[in-house]
């Protein structure tokens, strides 16, 4: 039986570290940092970890809003989406994720584009 992406990424502890790293990168990324100023970063990290774990086959339950509702009215640009994905890829690489896992995560993130880029 093939391991889930959750298992291949190392489970909740390693995914939490990846998400923490990615959000820390977002907070200092010139393209993204204005959106993260004044936000509750620990809560974003917790919800991001839940979302990522649940979406990769882990047992965690995501307690946040759906992506469409969470991003409604934010007018997120394609440039911001790409910057977000670049930060996630950098965090995955920094935490030793393999090329197949990075590619799979990018595919999943890209598939969510329509829920994030809506006005």
pTM above 0.85, yes or no: yes
Give the model confidence (pLDDT) of 12-59 as tens digits: 999 999 999 999 999 999 999 999 999 999 999 999 999 999 999 999
Element (H, E) at 95: none
Measured CA distances, 71 to 12, 17, 60, 67, 109 (Å): 25, 24, 22, 6, 14
How do residues 62-83 score in pLDDT, each as one tens digit? Answer: 999 999 999 999 999 999 999 9
Structural domains present in the chain:
5-116 (1.10.490.10)
pLDDT reported for residue 1:
59
């Amino acid at each position: 039986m093939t391991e889930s992406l959750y298992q291949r990424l190392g489970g909740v502890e390693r995914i939490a570290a990846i998400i923490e790293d990615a959000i820390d990168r977002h907070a200092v990324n010139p393209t993204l940092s204005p959106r993260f100023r004044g936000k509750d970063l620990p809560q974003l990290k917790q919800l991001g970890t839940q979302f990522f774990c649940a979406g990769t086959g882990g047992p965690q339950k995501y307690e946040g809003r759906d992506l469409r509702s969470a991003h409604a009215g934010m007018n997120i640009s394609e440039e911001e989406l790409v910057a977000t994905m670049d930060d996630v890829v950098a965090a995955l690489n920094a935490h030793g994720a393999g090329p197949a896992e990075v590619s799979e995560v990018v595919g999943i993130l890209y598939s969510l584009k329509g829920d994030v880029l809506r006005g």
